[in-house]
Amino acid sequence: MSGGLSIIQILLITAWAFWSIVDSLSWNIGFNNCILACLFTGVVVGDMKYGLIVGGTLQMTQLGAGTYGGASIPNITSSGMIATALGAASGADPIAMASSIGIALAALFTQLDILARFSNTAFQHIADKYVEEDNTKGIALMNTLGIIPWGLSRGLPVLLLLVAGQGVVDTLIKIIPAFIMNGFKFAGGLLPVVGFAILMRYLPVLKKPQFIILGFVLAAYINMPILGIALIGTAAALVTYQNATAKLAAGTAQGGDDDYDE
């Protein structure tokens, strides 16, 4: 199999990609999470660290972004799985792979998301006829069949590119002009910053500036790894939550005592 991947590996990765969008539109357990998807891909191809780096790099490009109102955003999950599988097999730098091929494919796969939405309407129109006939089984069937275009929009490109192997990626790199590839690499480095900025826009940073200062000091002056900073942030969040919960409980108890005395 091209790229050093076996048929079992390709099928496992494709199945995850297919199910990722189904999970995202229903239970939302986390299959569509780019980091988890790339981690799974890394485990399948035997390089978990590579998957974490690719997934983390791409995930940062969409911090604060979401598909609200049915909007289509770049599909970093499928592109990240492809970048992980082919990149790990070829030995390419994971950050460069995510910033170039990962970003390029994610933008391209946006069109497949739109196509899936259009294709799904065919099943819904049939379901409309079943509504007029009071055919509940037919309605349920059409809604279930609607999974097919959604899943194929994620799983099919993964399957085709992994079967084709690294040669397709190399061909794409040769076809795409250098200035466009450089643009993708630049965007790949810039988008995580934009993602953080969007996320911070909706966080109460002005109410809790001490945590921003602490994070900056730990990263800039102590050179603490991001995992350590994240763990400290988790501890700070837990303390803040516990204090707020205790304050609320105390206020409720005080109010209850007043009512009782009256």
pTM of the full structure: 0.72
Question: H helices within the chain, ranges in order?
Answer: 7-24, 34-45, 48-60, 76-90, 94-97, 103-132, 136-145, 147-164, 166-175, 178-201, 209-220, 226-261
Q: What is the DSSP letter of 70?
A: G
Which stretch, 58-67, 142-151, 203-212, has highest mean pLDDT?
142-151
More confident residue, 174 or 16: 16
Q: What is the pLDDT of residues 121-136, one digit of tens each?
A: 899 899 999 999 999 9
pLDDT in tens, 146-188: 899 999 999 999 999 999 876 776 776 677 777 776 776 676 6
Name the pLDDT band for 1 (thresholds 50, 70, 90): very low
**Residue 57 pLDDT:** 86
The confidence score (pLDDT) of residue 239 equals 92
Q: What confidence score (pLDDT) does residue 49 get?
A: 94
Binning pLDDT at 50, 70 and 90, where does residue 3 land?
A: low
